[in-house]
Structure 1
Amino acid sequence: MQSVNIREITLNDNQEVAKVIRKVLEDLGVPKVGTAYADKILDTMFEAYDKPRATYFVLKENGVIMGCAGIAQLENYEGNICELQKMYFLESARGKGLGAQMIETCLDRAKFFGYEQCYIETMPYMKAAQKLYLKNGFEYIEKPLGDTGHYSCPVWMLKTLT
């Protein structure tokens, strides 16, 4: 029997989370510049999300981190919009409904924090991720919101939180 647990990140998770994120990005052929791969916070995710109205979750399966995602205020944006950030799952965790569980966990927290909308950026060839986002109420938008620094991610989506 598989044991799956979604919980908030701890300081002790930093190294394993950074490895998961980099592995997924490398596996998917994501550019190392202008994407999450280049983010300085990858090695200090606990500290990066240890601020008001932000949190980062890890998904552990049988004691091993298999995926992660977070919610935080959209950078360089004045409105009450959060961003679903750094949602990545190792290949062995995909196709099991775990992404849907993670999105639900993150969006529930975003609503708890009082955000009105949730934004996400992704790559055009990440079709499975886009399908999951659409299924969870995200819609495509014409241009980016805020300035995340992820200029190599040309697909933008937004969901109104109700």
Structure 2
Amino acid sequence: MDNIVDPGCISPISIRAILPADNPVIAAIIRGTLTEFGQNRPGTAYYDAAIDDMYSSFQTPGSRYHVSLFNGQIIGGGGVYPSNGLPTGIAELVKMYLHPSARGMGAGKRLIEACVEFARQYGYKQLYLETMPEFGTAVAIYEKFGFRYLSGPLGNTGHYGCTVWMLKDL
């Protein structure tokens, strides 16, 4: 998709769609991050069956999962998905996670940009997300991207452990 040289990095950060071989690496990053922040509990993505086969999970029309690579190694991912129960024209920004070594390199920003661009191209009007206050740095980045807080959840994602809900107009 994109090869981007982040000014703070010597090597390029590249973003591409997920491949079947990426599944175990992305699953490890997601579960590792949730464990790191004490969120490896029911009601979070930690227990989503989709985690172990992200490639297949994102074959649904209107969805795409992007992986970020640094020096050829997967360092994170994030996707867009038409989650259950969301109103027409709204997709969810889902499973945005970075390996600890990748934080602060601009990879998260590039992943969000790729997701927003995909959502716009697909014709979505808004992008919704659910997260937890423990991910304060990520929440601050979402705010910079124009996500605004909601008073409650949209749709039926099953992530009852999330207590921060945000929406962005595209």
Shorter-chain TM range is: over 0.9
Q: TM-score, normalised by structure 1?
A: 0.96
| Distance in 1 of aligned mates of 2:101 and 2:45 | 21
> 1:2 aligned to 2:11?
yes
8 Å contact 2:31–2:40 — kept in the other structure?
Answer: no
Summarize the alignment of residues 6-155 of structure 1 with structure 2, pairs less than 5 Å apart: 6-155=15-164
**Matched position secondary structure for 2:134:** coil
8 Å contact 1:31–1:152 — kept in the other structure?
Answer: no
**Matched position secondary structure for 2:133:** coil
Q: Kindly state the Cα deviation for residue 91 of structure 1 after the two structures are TM-superposed.
A: 1.1
Q: Which amino acid aligns with 1:15?
A: P
Q: Kindly state the Cα deviation for residue 119 of structure 1 after the two structures are TM-superposed.
A: 0.3
| Distance in 2 of aligned mates of 1:149 and 1:37 | 12
Q: Which amino acid aligns with 1:56?
A: Y
8 Å contact 2:147–2:166 — kept in the other structure?
Answer: yes
Q: Which amino acid aligns with 1:39?
A: D
| Distance in 2 of aligned mates of 1:88 and 1:75 | 21
**Matched position secondary structure for 2:157:** coil
Q: Kindly state the Cα deviation for residue 125 of structure 1 after the two structures are TM-superposed.
A: 2.1
Gaps of 5+ in 2: 1-9
CA shift digits 1:57-93 (9 cap, x unpaired): 0001111111100001132223210000000001111
8 Å contact 1:20–1:65 — kept in the other structure?
Answer: no
RMSD of aligned alpha carbons: 1.0
Percent identity over the alignment is: 43
8 Å contact 1:74–1:119 — kept in the other structure?
Answer: no
How many residues are aligned here?
161
CA shift digits 1:78-121 (9 cap, x unpaired): 32100000000011111122211110110000000100100000
